A = this chain, B = another copy of it.
Amino acid sequence: MQRKYNRIFLDIVSQIEQGVYQPNDLLPSEKTLSDQYQVSRDTVRKSLGLLEQNGYIQKSKGKGSFVLDTNKLDFPVSGVVSFKEINQRMGRNFETFVEELKCQPANEQLQKNLNLSSEERVWKLIRTRKIDGEKIILDKDYVVQKYVETLTEVICQDSLYQYIENTLGLKIAYANKEITMQMATDEDRHYLDLKKYDMVAVVRSYTYLDDTSLFQYTESRHRPDKFIFVDFARR
């Protein structure tokens, strides 16, 4: 049996996206929904909580749950999402190139970033992403070998996250991200079609598994004119 609250959440999401509920409409009350779906009010409340967190509705005491305008979900880089997942959702034309893949001892910087001892090894993976014919993104991944024993070019060309979650059965739980701007390096210029630009947008991510182990550090470097990060935030 699938989780009820998740099924209801997805059901209402699809109704909002299909326009059954329009922006500024009021959803049925929690009581009504719990009757409709034949579940307890608390279960409905979990579903509505998910909707609220994800920017689909705004709840208001004494009034009800208003549907928000979700057309502004342009480019969901927010959250822990892989490049492949984003582009699939956007229906965009993209290619991935594996530029480098090797397993090496962690250098000092990586030992610090990934909390490793000097004997431990990491996979170093460099990929570039071509969108509409231009190389725009340079991804440098460092994956702790302790958690991911083997990597191949084929896997990296497809989706690292899919392999880690589906094949290895590891659970990716959360990430700390940091967005900055930096002067472009020779490496950036070597791998990317930077045109006139001399800076790049840098997204550093530390990704953690279910059991709180830090298993990956990623530096994603973007040509500035093609970079966008969107976020939905609650106060």
Contacts and interface: CB of A to CB of B under 8 A. Distances in A.
Contacts of A74: 178
A224 B212 contact: no
A72 B206 contact: yes
A9 B229 CA distance: 30
A180 interface: yes
B235 A173 contact: yes
A174 B232 contact: yes
Interface in A163-204: 172-181, 197, 199, 201
A210 interface: yes
B234 A179 contact: no
A118 interface: no
A225 B202 CA distance: 12
Interface string A208-235: 1011100000000000110111111111
Nearest to A230: B178
A60 B208 CA distance: 13
